[in-house]
Amino acid sequence: MTEPHRDARVGHEHARTTGEARERDERDGPDARDTLRRAWDELVSTARRTVADGLVVGTSGNVSVRVGDTVLVTPTGVPYDRLTRDGIVGVGLDGRQVLGSLRPTSELPMHLAVYRATGARAVVHTHAPHATAVSLLVPELPLVHYMAAALGGPVRVAPYAAYGTPELAESTLRALAGRTACLLRNHGTIAYGDSLDQAYDRTAQLEWMCRVWLLSSSVPGLAPALLSPDQLAEAGERLRGYGQQE
């Protein structure tokens, strides 16, 4: 005679196994696989763009995009020009790897922290040279241009923490409060957005503003003219209506 508690345990195990199988089917069905492949192709293209535009060197920096509850992310130590569809890497929001055999980027904790704390759908992290230089000099990027409003306001510098650590993830989130991009001291940049294009554009805008400040502040005997908080707020209001409205 079968023990009642054993029947319950077997039933629970069967339900759990069936549930996991259903989740796999939903994730791995034809439509889901096509969506993931397209997202991965776009991620690889964005990662290669960071190299082409001089925002990273070698395998530094990393890119991720969220598809449902799966985060596709560049793998650690693999040159972007060698990435193929077979190299897809995906993790859950808990960090558990669910796709691919290559190990995810060492900066995975920072990416996941951003996804958990914000509505981000894509994250771009670079070692952009001008932005990294600025991170060594000031606690906040001076207001040299109104595009700071497009990033949520004055861009902060997160205190230094070793790469890949929970400490870096925590300091990044503090610097990102109310912002969509920040600088990482002695390290680089991180920006997020509703898409890879938006996250990349914010990264490029931040690097450009850092370059402008470095250039203008390097002229002997002169100091850059900076925007006031009111001027930045006005620009922010105007930017809300910028571009083609649907």
Non-local (6+) Cβ contacts of 54 within 8 A are: 128, 129
The answer to whether 107 is a known catalytic residue is yes
Question: Among the options 20, 107, 140, 207, which is catalytic?
Answer: 107
**Structure-block tokens of residue 91:** 């993790």
Q: What contacts 72, CB < 8 A, 6 or more positions away?
A: 36, 39, 40, 43, 64, 65, 66, 88, 89, 90, 99
Q: Which two tokens stand for residue 190?
A: 């991180």
Question: How far lies 91's CA from each of 100, 101, 105, 108, 121, in Å?
Answer: 9, 11, 11, 9, 14
Residues designated as active site: 107
